Amino acid sequence: ASGSSSAESAKSKKIPQLAEYIKSDKCKRIVLMLGAGVSTAAGIPDFRSPKTGLYANLQRLNLPHPEAVFEIGFFRRNPVPFYTLARELYPGKFRPTLTHSFIRLLAQHDLLHMCFTQNIDTLERQAGVPDDKIIEAHGSFASSRCIECLRPYDNDDMKIMVECQDIPHCHHCENLVKPEIVFFGEALPPKFVNSIGKVSEADLLLIIGTSLTVHPFASLAWRASDSTPRVLINMDSVGDLGHRRSDVVLLGKCDDIVVELAKELGWYDELVALWDET
């Protein structure tokens, strides 16, 4: 019993200490690294959670292996599984979470240096995070292009094709079209590559809702300077978080932790007001 209470009391001190640091003038530039765990509360499954993760629920698409749904080689041969999934994930049906609104709140307090996200759901934009502070490292559904001649494909046409489960083809060269989501085997957007340096400028790195299994995104966590606290907010421990003296590991649902942090910061009412706007 004493063990758990000491663990509990240790955790209970971490969030007030984190809030104190965020309020201090040592903390001016906060960098975020987001994964699918941030959007599960919005109703979008993550990828690798054992029962609920997307990769555990794609049997109906009879793929050779789950990740094939996002592999460019497989897509060229058979675009149907991707477009079946695209219909379920397409933006417009989901509301941002409290965690997304907290990121907007950081920007409003002039503390958001950059928000790197692996998510393709555009919920950061929908939550009102400033566009110049968002790096969608794995692209998003926000635009589409022919995979051969690279001509842009109209967004409204894409929305209609996805809704009625047609496979869109390029009006110019008849080849397959796909949303600009970064598939396995494709390069990450130049905006990501050009912004990597922002991580080393961070006074605080918040890593939220990711298994840190996909590179090069995951390697951003190693770019924070040794003196920069790296805070993991996740259901379980991942990556090398906890190995550095200044690491902080907060295990639990991100929305619960973010609410506790907002209360410690005295920002709870602002957070709820922002979230009510989404």
Set 109, 138, 171, 215: catalytic member: 138
Say how far apart CA 272 and CA 250 lie, in whole Å.
Answer: 22
Annotated active-site residue 138? The verdict is yes
Residue in 63, 188, 50 with CA at minimum distance from that of residue 118: 188
Residue in 37, 17, 34, 98 with CA at minimum distance from that of residue 252: 37
Which positions from 213 to 242 touch ligand APR by CB under 6 A, shown as an x/- string? xx-------------------xxx-x----
Say how far apart CA 119 and CA 48 lie, in whole Å.
Answer: 14
Nearer to ligand APR, 144 or 211 (CB): 211
Among 11, 14, 29, 49, indicate the residue that binds ligand APR (CB under 6 A).
49
**Using CB under 6 A, which of the segments 33-41, 127-135, 193-201, 224-232 binds ligand APR?**
33-41
Nearer to ligand APR, 203 or 253 (CB): 253
Site for ligand APR in 122-151 (CB under 6 A): 138
By the 8 A CB rule, do 100 and 255 touch?
no
- Site for ligand APR contains 189 (CB under 6 A): no
Residue in 98, 115, 104, 120 with CA at minimum distance from that of residue 44: 120
**100 φ, ψ to 5°?**
-60, -40
* Largest Cα span, the chain: 69
- Site for ligand APR contains 61 (CB under 6 A): no
Nearer to ligand APR, 144 or 234 (CB): 234
Nearer to ligand APR, 37 or 179 (CB): 37
The enclosing H or E element of 85 equals: helix 80-89
Catalytic residue ranges: 138
The residue ranges that bind ligand APR (CB under 6 A) are 35-37, 40-41, 46-49, 53, 118, 138, 209-211, 213-214, 234-236, 238, 253-254
